[in-house]
Amino acid sequence: MNTDWMSRTIAEVDPDVATALENERLRQNNNLEMIASENFVSQAVLTAAGSIMTNKYAEGYPGRRYYGGCEQYDIVENLARDRARELFGAEHANVQPHSGAQANMAVLMAMVKPGSTILGLDLSHGGHLTHGHPLNYSGKSFNVVPYGVKKDTERIDYESIAALAAEHKPRLIICGASAYPRTIDFERIGQIARENDALVLADIAHIAGLVVAGLHPSPVPHCDFVTTTTHKTLRGPRGGLILCREAFAKDVDRALFPGVQGGPLMHAVAAKAVAFREALEPRFAEYQKQVLLNAAALADALVGLGWRLVSGGTENHLVLLDVFSKGVTGKVAEKALERASITVNKNTIPFDTQPPLVASGIRLGTPALTTRGMDEDDMRAIAGFIDRVLSAPGDDSVAAAVRADVEALCARYPLYL
C-alpha cells in the first residue's frame, strides 16, 4: 500500500487551509492582540499541541484506561496533574476538560441536583455564561439567583451575596469573572458559603496566571472547587482544568468522564503539561508582574486621555473601557479598532443600556502584548492609538495612519517568524 500521502505538506494537501494559516500568522504578527482572554503560546506548547498524541484514544484516567497502548499517555497526564497541583497548591487536579465551560459543567453535574439553587455573578456585570445565564445549560438546569456589582463603585457587592445566600440557601455559590478588572475576595465568599452550608466554585479562567505568580489571592484555601481555562494568563493551549479537595475527587472525575466527555484530547493534555512546566519557572512570575504593570499603564493613559474605565481602573490584566460615555458603541469601537489592526472585543458594562451584541464597552487585556515583550511605554503609545481611532471611528484615513503605527510597533516585537 502506498503511504506517500502521510508525508505530504499541508500546502500540498489543502492549499486553502494552508493559506488561511499563513494569513493568520501574519495577522498575529502585525496586529495588537488586546482581547483579554487570548495569549500566545511558546513553540514548545505548539509542538505538543500538534503532536502524534492526537492519534490515540485514552478514555479513562491514568492506570484505568479503556484502551491499550496508553503507557506514554499515562506518563504525560500524570505530569500535567502533578504540575497543576504544585502550581496551585491543590489536593486534586483533573486536566482532561476540553474547555473551561466543560470544567464548570462537570462540577455542577457532580455537586448540584437539577432544580437546585445556585448563586452566580450576572453576565452583564462581568460574569460568564456558565455561571447561570438563562440560555446556557447552567441557567436551564438550575434555579439561578444572580448577584452583581454596586452601581456607585462597579465592584462586587459582597453584602448582597451574603444577603442572597442567607435568603435562598443555595447549594453552590459561583465566583470568578470574565470581565471584572478588580481583585476578587475569595476568602469572603468562602466564608459566606460556609455560613449558609453552601459549596463554592471559583472560576479563575482569566486570573489563573496571576494566582500562580502570587499576584492575586488564591481561591484554593477558601473554595471547594476551582476551575480555569489554560489558554489565558496561564499561556497554555486551549483547554480546561479542575482543581478540588480530595474528598470531591471521585465525584468530579466521574462527572467529567463519562459524565460530560468521552476520550480526552491527549495532544492538548500534553501541551498543558508543557505549559505548566513553563509556569513553574521563575520567569513566569516576572512575566505576570509585567502583565499587571502594563495593564496599569494602559489604564492610567486612557484615563489621562479622558476615557471612563469601569470601576475607575484595574487591579488585574484587563481594562473595561466605557466607550458609550463618549457616544460610541462597543460594536462600532470593535470594528473601528480592527480596521487599525487593533483586536479587541465589544463587552457589556454593568447596568448597560445597550443590547449585548451592541454593548457600551470594550474589553482590553495585556497578556498577549506582554508575551511579545511590550512594556509600559508601549502601553501608553497604544492608549494613544486607541484614542485616535475612537475619537474618529468612521474616518478611514485615521484608521490607516494608526494601522501604520501599529505595524511599526509590532515589527519591533516579532512573533512566530
Strands 240-244 and 225-229 come out as antiparallel
Decide if 52 contacts 245 (C-beta within 8 A).
no
117, 227, 228, 229: the catalytic one is 229
Strands 117-121 and 143-147 come out as parallel
Cα gap 291→378, rounded to integer Å: 12
73 annotated active-site: no
33, 77, 185, 203: the catalytic one is 203
The secondary structure element, H or E, covering residue 226 is strand 225-229
65, 232, 235, 403: the catalytic one is 232
Beta-sheet strands, E only, within 71-136: 92-94, 117-121
3-state secondary structure of 42: coil
Decide if 316 contacts 210 (C-beta within 8 A).
yes
83 annotated active-site: no
Q: Which of 287, 400, 413 is nearest to 342 (CA)?
A: 400
82 annotated active-site: no
203 annotated active-site: yes
3-state secondary structure of 60: strand
Decide if 381 contacts 409 (C-beta within 8 A).
yes
* Residue 48 to residues 57, 117, 239, 295, Cα–Cα distance (Å): 16, 41, 13, 30
238, 272, 346, 403: the catalytic one is 238
Cα gap 288→235, rounded to integer Å: 10
159 annotated active-site: no
Decide if 99 contacts 133 (C-beta within 8 A).
no
Decide if 45 contacts 52 (C-beta within 8 A).
no
250 annotated active-site: no
The verdict on whether omega for the bond into residue 221 sits within 30 degrees of 0, i.e. cis, is no
38, 59, 376, 405: the catalytic one is 59
The verdict on whether omega for the bond into residue 393 sits within 30 degrees of 0, i.e. cis, is no
Strands 199-203 and 225-229 come out as parallel
Which are the catalytic amino acids?
A: 57, 59, 203, 229, 232, 238
